[in-house]
């Protein structure tokens, strides 16, 4: 069974940093492009970043470019999202999802709250 499990969410002050992790099981993560998608409370979905299977290529939404960094460790079957200079509008559930174009497997999400 494919399972993606996010962790690392929590409450952080504006301007702070947080690192999210996504651990995969039942799934050879190294074969897949991986993404982070977020959903603000009561709002729709927003794709924010992806990373190629080899980690050579990354892409970001303008809303997070320069503040967030995606990375991966295929040996640990994990993907990460380093978030810095956090703003109130970054408050959301953050999902990791597999796929190079569309998203077949999703984690359950981790909640990030940016508030003083």
3-state secondary structure of 25: strand
Question: Of the candidates 23, 47, 67, 69, which one interacts with another protein according to CB under 8 A?
Answer: 47
- Window contacting another protein (CB under 8 A); options: 12-20, 55-63, 67-75, 84-92: 55-63
Rule CB under 8 A: is residue 102 a binding residue for another protein?
yes
Least distance in Å: CB of 70 to another protein?
A: 13
Alpha helices in the chain (DSSP H): none
What is the C-alpha to C-alpha distance for residues 79 and 86, in angstroms, rounded to an integer?
Answer: 20
Note the maximum CA span of the chain. 40
From the number of C-beta atoms within 10 Å of its C-beta (0-12, 13-18, 19+), residue 84 rates as: middle
Rule CB under 8 A: is residue 67 a binding residue for another protein?
no
Q: Which residues bind another protein (CB under 8 A)?
A: 35, 37, 44-47, 50, 59-62, 95, 97, 101-104, 106-109
């Amino acid at each position: 069974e494919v399972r993606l499990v996010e962790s690392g969410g929590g409450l952080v002050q504006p301007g702070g940093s947080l690192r999210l992790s996504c651990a995969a099981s039942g799934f050879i993560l190294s074969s897949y492009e991986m993404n982070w998608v977020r959903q603000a409370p009561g709002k729709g979905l927003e794709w924010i970043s992806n990373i190629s299977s080899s980690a050579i290529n990354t892409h970001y939404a303008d809303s997070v470019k320069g503040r967030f960094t995606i990375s991966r460790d295929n040996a640990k079957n994990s993907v990460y999202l380093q978030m810095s200079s956090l703003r109130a509008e970054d408050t959301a559930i953050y999902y990791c999802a597999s796929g190079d174009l569309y998203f077949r497997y999703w984690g359950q999400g981790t909640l990030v709250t940016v508030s003083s």
